Amino acid sequence: MEGLDRLYRQRFPEAARRGREAVWQALCRHFFQRYVGETDTVLDLGCGLGEFSRFIRAGRKIAVDANPDGGARLPPEIEFRVADARHLDFIAAGTLDVCFTSNFFEHLPSKQDLDAVLAEVHRLLRPGGSLIALQPNIRYAPGAYWDYYDHHLPLSERSCAEALDKAGFEIVEVIDRFLPFTTCSAWPKHPLLVRLYLRVRPVWRLFGRQFLIVARRP
């Protein structure tokens, strides 16, 4: 999609980016690190501003995005590529331990494109490798979901799980309500408050508008 760089600069001004960084640092340290080994090879697919890549601990980190601005804040040890998520031929098949993606699938134009992306991720993961997907849930944010010009593909945790099953993945974990809809909302961004939120799972039922799915390549 042309103009992504301009669109995201307007959507995430500098103050908002600092808030996102604090949230993602806490999320990686206190939640997502449980899925990633410190020697793993990890792909951050649709990396956006690269917060996951910067704050997760892993042996090798590859970040991919269609927006060239995505690599601007990444340190040199993170391998950044501007690429089409359906064609990641620069990564050898069966070499990834983990593929992480956040708020990416809804930007795809169609279900056929999602099928192509999932097939490519399946090809790149080693047997037993994991796909972790964090996505806005159309069931719990049916109006706000469409407030973004680049949202095309509505998904719930149920439809996404079906797509993963269709692509040959085994579903390991599904959380239908995990995080609030956006880090640009008024939810607390101090790391201690984010950590408290993560520990009090009943609160997720009140504020969670994004789902989390963990799937495995058999």
For 80-106, the pLDDT digits (tens) are 999 999 999 999 999 999 999 999 999
Residues 6+ apart with CB under 8 A from 66: 1, 4, 46, 82, 83, 84, 85
The enclosing domain of 66 has a CATH number of 3.40.50.150
Q: How would DSSP label each residue in 157-213?
A: HHHHHHHHHHTTPEEEEEESS-S-S-TTSSS--SHHHHHHHHH-HHHHHHH--EEEE
The C-alpha angle with vertex 98 and arms to 97 and 104, in degrees rounded to 5, equals 150
Mode of pairing for the β-strands spanning 125-136 and 96-102: parallel
Mean pLDDT, the chain, whole residue set: 91
Going by pLDDT thresholds of 50, 70 and 90, the confidence category of residue 69 is: confident
The helix/strand/coil state of 140 is coil
Residues 6+ apart with CB under 8 A from 85: 45, 46, 64, 66, 104, 117, 120
CB atoms within 10 A of CB 31: 17
Give the C-alpha separation, 62 to 79, whole Å: 5
The residue segments making up the domain with residue 188 are 4-216
Global model pTM greater than 0.85 = yes
Cα dist. 39→98, 105, 195, 200 in Å?
A: 11, 27, 25, 30
Overall number of domains in the chain: 1
For residue 178, the model assigns a pLDDT of 97
Q: Is 103 left (phi over 0), alpha (psi -120 to 50) or beta?
A: left
The arithmetic mean of pLDDT across residues 5-12, rounded, is 54
Q: Which value, to the nearest 10 degrees, does the dihedral of the CA atoms of residues 18, 132, 129, 122 take?
A: -110
For residue 83, the model assigns a pLDDT of 96
Give the C-alpha separation, 197 to 189, whole Å: 10
